[in-house]
Amino acid sequence: MVDDFEAELANLEMEQHVTMQELLKHTQILHQSMATLSANQQRQENKIFEIQQALNILLERSKPVSNCAFCEMGTNDDKHHTNQYKIFPDPISRAIQATKMGLCEKCLKTHNGDSQCLTICIKCKGPHNIALCNKKPPGIPFSNKRHRY
């Protein structure tokens, strides 16, 4: 009878050992699955962050802007352009205002430290915005042809 009891006890211990090994095996599989899910979640969060950044840039770039570099969108009621602003009627006063506002003198926008603006004046090809150009436009060449009226 004692032998039967010891045999049964050994059987139970063996079953517990097998059960513990299976439990450990399943725990390791679960741990690997959780690590994979966590990595996938991190990749998805990174993608979402990149999409949010791109969306913010898109929204910023597509905001309505004033025709005048010196006026806010809501204050430019007559929709004048920068070179038609009555408060700064000449290129010198516009250049001074652009400097005060921290605007790039080539494109009249803020660049956040980007000094590689490639915009040039369409009037004189100088390194400034046309609204800041003080060169006179070339005159109309004289023609010897007579006009018939």
Instruction: Specify which of 16-20, 25-29, 40-44, 125-129 reaches the highest per-range mean pLDDT.
Output: 40-44
Q: How far apart are CA 123 and CA 136, in angstroms?
A: 9
Tokens of 25: 């095996």
Give phi and psi for 62, each to the nearest 5.
-100, 5
**Max Cα distance, the chain (Å):** 139
The pLDDT, as a whole number, for residue 114 is 57
Task: Please state the domain extents for the chain.
Answer: 1-63, 82-132
pLDDT of 30 above 80? yes
CB burial of 48-83 (b: ≥16 within 10 Å; e: otherwise) equals eeeeeeeeeeeeeeeeeebebbbbeeeebeeeeebb
Mean pLDDT of the chain: 83
Torsion of CA 99, 105, 107, 111, to 10 degrees: -60
Helix, strand or coil, per DSSP, at residue 7? helix
Distance CA 78, CA 67 (A): 10
Residues 6 or more apart whose Cβ sits within 8 Å of residue 117: 104, 106, 107, 111
- The pTM of this model reads 0.50
Report how far residue 101's alpha carbon sits from residue 109's, in angstroms, rounded to the nearest whole number. Answer: 9
The answer for residues whose C-beta is within 8 angstroms of residue 71's C-beta and 6 or more apart is 80, 85
**pLDDT in the model for residue 58:** 94
State pLDDT tens for residues 96-132: 999 999 998 888 888 765 567 888 898 898 888 999 9
DSSP 67: S
